[in-house]
């Protein structure tokens, strides 16, 4: 499954009742999670023990793959964010509904890949140690690249700041286009140029 080595395969159920007992979730969080997810299973364990060619990282010691069987394709991502918050491991979620699935992972925030047929989904393990493997997994699922001088967390922060600036620019451009007063239009234009210079 996922094109991972057979040595990484484990099939261990993760009962929802056990999660509810272990974590201090509110009744509404439990109900929402229960309404979204039908079952959870640990399906892969990636570590130097299961993939000897990959060394342990400074930060990442192991990576798990959890298959999440969903009750609906239109699920609320808050259920996965909640799970990620309470299980402090490096986990790749294989969110599955019928014959389709998507990969998701949480690193500072939730990243999801597009839906595809289950058999078309692979999880390549590239990197000499688990830190590099994890960075490549997150950037591949999130569809972004990490610049040479930045860590994964720094890159996510930079990308979020850029996305925020782009939203502000788009809002200012709409405002400028709908403004009739020349003076106000000029003020908005100056503000717009300032924001654009921050992106470059």
Give the separation between CA 45 and CA 43, rounded to whole angstroms: 7
pTM of the model: 0.78
Element containing residue 133 per DSSP (H, E): helix 130-142
Residues 34-85: tens digit of each pLDDT: 999 999 999 999 999 999 999 999 999 999 999 999 999 888 888 888 888 8
Q: Collapsing DSSP states into helix, strand and coil, what is residue 106?
A: strand
């Amino acid at each position: 499954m996922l094109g991972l080595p057979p040595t990484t395969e484990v099939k261990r159920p993760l009962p929802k009742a056990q999660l509810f007992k272990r974590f201090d979730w509110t009744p509404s969080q439990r109900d929402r999670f229960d309404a979204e997810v039908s079952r959870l299973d640990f399906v892969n364990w990636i570590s130097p023990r299961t993939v000897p060619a990959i060394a342990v990282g400074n930060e990442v010691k192991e990576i798990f793959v959890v298959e999440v069987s969903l009750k609906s394709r239109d699920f609320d991502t808050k259920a996965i964010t909640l799970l990620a918050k309470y299980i402090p491991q490096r986990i790749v979620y294989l969110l599955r509904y019928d014959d389709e699935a998507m990969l998701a992972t949480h690193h500072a925030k939730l990243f999801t890949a597009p839906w595809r047929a289950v058999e078309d989904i692979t999880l390549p393990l590239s990197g000499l140690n688990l830190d590099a493997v994890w960075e490549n997994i997150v950037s591949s699922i999130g569809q972004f690249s990490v610049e040479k001088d930045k860590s994964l967390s720094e890159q996510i922060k930079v990308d979020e700041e850029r996305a925020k600036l782009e939203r502000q620019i788009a809002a200012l451009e709409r405002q400028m286009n709908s403004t009739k007063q020349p003076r106000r239009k000029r003020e908005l234009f100056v503000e717009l140029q300032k924001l654009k210079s921050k992106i470059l």
